[in-house]
Amino acid sequence: MNDDILILGIESSCDETAASVTRNGREVLSNIISSQIPLHTLYGGVVPEIASRKHVEKIVPVIREALSAAEVTLQDIDAVAVTYGPGLVGALLVGVSAAKGLAYAAKKPLVAVHHIEGHVAANYLEHPDLEPPFGCLVVSGGHTHLVEVMDYGKFSIIGRTRDDAAGEAFDKVARAIGLGYPGGPKIDKKAKEGDSSAISFPKASVDGAFYDFSFSGLKSAVLNYLNHAKMQGQEVNDADLAASFQKAVVDVLTEKSAALIRERGYKKFAIAGGVASNSSLRMSMQEACGRLGAKFYSPSPIYCTDNAAMIACAGYYEYLGGARAELNLNAVPNVKLGER
Ligand code: KG4
Ligand code: ZN
């Protein structure tokens, strides 16, 4: 009798069609990601209708590949876990429909996973010692949250962005200096050639809500800087601008995380989401955690950006906790963390 629990995870909330099989939550047997980035680059950002159509094309081959790379069949799987939100509704629906079809056909339980819960769970994949409770900074293209992970699948939100997400700010600034989509990795690279103290950008905070974030002011400051330079006929050093902008974002994220670690006395602190693959943020958070006596956790970059291994991992803990979705599960594009 084999007591291992195999979860098939499916993710299609934005521009990656992904499927993965994990064993007992944390062991990744396969992790297949079909990225649409080259397609959306042509338009400077994700085009929702194109994303949905591409997911439809890719979802079955990607799931097949995830099963075969893991050397299992659908019958070996214990449950199918799928991202049901938040994300682009048409994109989410492709993954949700595929998961429902498979669960029904193979008579397997279906588990609905919140995308952010997945990002947080990415930290479990390579850190066997990491268990809740811990603090976590979630920074992606759509979200910027400071959360306390109280237990598997149980979160308390301490701070969130009031406007743009950190990743969105990276993408918009990259577009403004002609680096293209997706902006995060391009700014990260460009910043390495620049001087982060060349331009002083504002580090916005929200009155009366210390742990909340606001990035729209910073984005406007960058755009104003560019317009002003253009009007004056001055040349802009893109590397200096990228480095200075990135520093403003990283400093705010680190300062608030550090204040939270100090206030709550966390011994463990993790980062998650696409922006968590930023090299400067990783260094800055590592240094802050070290200084404050908290062990720092971060997923490898491949598990920071969207993937299905993180969904299979979060799905495993949901499954153990008894969570089961019905076959009328729907995509919920704006579901909040902690809501069902
Ligand atoms: O988690 P993710 O793949 O998708 C969402 O759930 O949103 O995050 C994508 C975001 C994009 O905004 C992208 O520009 C940003 O993560 N990103 C980065 C880096 N790599 C990806 N931002 C900063 N530095 C990076 N190295
Ligand atoms: Zn994501």
Q: pLDDT tens-digit profile of 189-214?
A: 999 999 999 999 998 788 889 999 99
Contact between 93 and 52 under an 8 Å Cβ cutoff? The reply is yes
For domain 6-122+304-320, the CATH superfamily is ATPase, nucleotide binding domain (3.30.420.40)
Amino acid at 177: I
Check if 214 has its Cβ closer than 6 Å to any atom of ligand 1: no
Average pLDDT, the chain: 96
**For 132-298, CATH number?**
3.30.420.40
Output the six-digit token pair for 301: 């970059």
Distance CA 135, CA 211 (A): 13
Binding site membership of 299 for ligand 1 (Cβ less than 6 Å): no
Q: For residue 207, what pLDDT is reported?
A: 86
Domains of the chain: which residue ranges? 6-122+304-320, 132-298
Best probe residue, ligand 1, of 11, 37, 271, 275 (max atoms within 8 Å of C-beta): 275
Q: Give 76-130 pLDDT, tens digit per residue.
A: 999 999 999 999 999 999 999 999 999 999 999 999 999 999 999 999 999 999 9
CA distance 15 to 165: 17
CA 227-230-235 angle, to 5 degrees, is 125
Determine the pLDDT at residue 155: 96
* Ligand 1 centroid from CA 305, angstroms: 6
Q: 170 CA to middle of ligand 1, Å?
A: 8
Residue tagged 């649409």 (tokens): 36
Q: 14 CB less than 6 Å from ligand 1?
A: yes
Q: What is the mean pLDDT of residues 286-300?
A: 98
Ligand 2 centroid–CA 236 distance in Å is 32
| Cα-to-centroid distance, 275 and ligand 1 (Å) | 4
Residue nearest to atom 23 of ligand 1 (CA): 184
pLDDT of res. 206: 87
Equal CATH topology for 6-122+304-320 and 132-298: yes
pLDDT of residue 1: 58
For the stretch 267-292, pLDDT in tens is 999 999 999 999 999 999 999 999 99
Q: What is the pTM of this model?
A: 0.97
Provide the residues around ligand 2 (an ion) whose CB is within 5 A: 140, 306
pLDDT tens string 152-191: 999 999 999 999 999 999 999 999 999 988 899 999 999 9
